[in-house]
Structure formats: structure tokens, C-alpha cells
Amino acid sequence: MLWFIGIYFKTITVVLGSAKPQTEPRYPELKPIQSINAHPSNCICIKFDPMGKYFATGSADALVSLWNVEELVCVRCFSRLDWPVRTLSFSHDGKMLASASEDHFIDIAEVETGEKLWEVQCDSPTFTVAWHPKRPLLAYACDDKDGKYDNNREAGTVKLFGLPNDS
């Protein structure tokens, strides 16, 4: 069972990783106060937006779900990935959400509408994505051991999207 914990004011918010009933403890008593089923399969990643309005979960069902923090309701699902979601990141202003998986692209969506803004092509599966804390610049790391690099050694690179020559 996977537990993902985020702190929102004085409540520890637990986003559940399976369809089995789970509970959300309140700190410091850690007594159950609510249960929430986020996905029908295991959650793999979670991120809170920097404005504190939303959090997103990525799951083995290849869906990204956007949740309202105060209401604890799913407001939108993103279904453009075909493989389990490995990583998520909100932009510094909370307006964009990047998600990636073993698909050979990173999906960048507008949070408020769900509209696809960009599809960043990759040569291999993506392990992690992270937005710059003050600029619309996305860093990401892929599994580069297959392909143009030496297949006999572990290799990885950090790449950037959002530089002036990117489109």
C-alpha cells in the first residue's frame, strides 16, 4: 500500500494509492477523519500546486487527476499518457502541469482548462520533471542508456524545455 502525504495548514492530507478504503489522519492525534479513493490503481506520484489550490496525482492507470484541495474533489482528469504516470510538476505560477511516463513525450497542460499546451518529444522514458521555481523552464531526466549513448553503461542526462529557441 502506498501513502502519499502532503501538509496543508494543520492537516496532513493523505492521497490514497489504491481502491481499498483508507483513512486520512489528523496531526497530532493521527485519528481517521476521511477516506478518499483517488484512482482505481496505485498512485505513483503527487504534487501540490504552489498556490495551494490544487494537487495532482499520477497513477498506474495512466491518468493524471487534478484535485481541489479544500473540497477534496477531482475537478479534471488528463488522459493523454498511455503508460503509468511516473512524475508530475506544477509551474511556478500554478498555471501549467507537466506529466510524464514511459511514453516518449512529456505532456504540458493548462491547469484551469486541461488544454494541451505542449508535447515535449523525448527519445526514451522520462524519470522526473521539475519546473524552475521562478520561470517557465522545465528540467527533465530520461533513461538514455538505450539509443544514441553507450548501451553498456548507465547514462542519463538532464534536459531543458522552455529556452528561447524551444517551440
Give residue 9's pLDDT.
35
Of 70, 66, 22, which is closest to residue 42 (Cα–Cα)? 22
> 3-state class of 14 per DSSP?
strand
Give residue 139's pLDDT.
96
Give residue 44's pLDDT.
86
Is it true that the peptide bond before 50 is cis, omega within 30 degrees of 0? no
Model's pTM, two decimal places? Answer: 0.77
Query: CA-CA distance, 100 to 92, in Å (whole number)?
Result: 18
Phi, psi of 127 (to 5 degrees): -90, -40
Give residue 107's pLDDT.
98
User: In degrees, to the nearest 5, what angle opens at C-alpha 128 toward C-alphas 146 and 72?
Assistant: 145
Query: CA-CA distance, 79 to 59, in Å (whole number)?
Result: 11
Give residue 154's pLDDT.
64
Give residue 149's pLDDT.
53
10-residue stretch averages of pLDDT, the chain, 167 residues long: 38 42 55 66 88 91 91 92 97 98 97 97 93 95 68 72 81
Report CA Rg, the chain. 17
Give residue 17's pLDDT.
41
- Residue indicated by cell numbers 528561447: 164
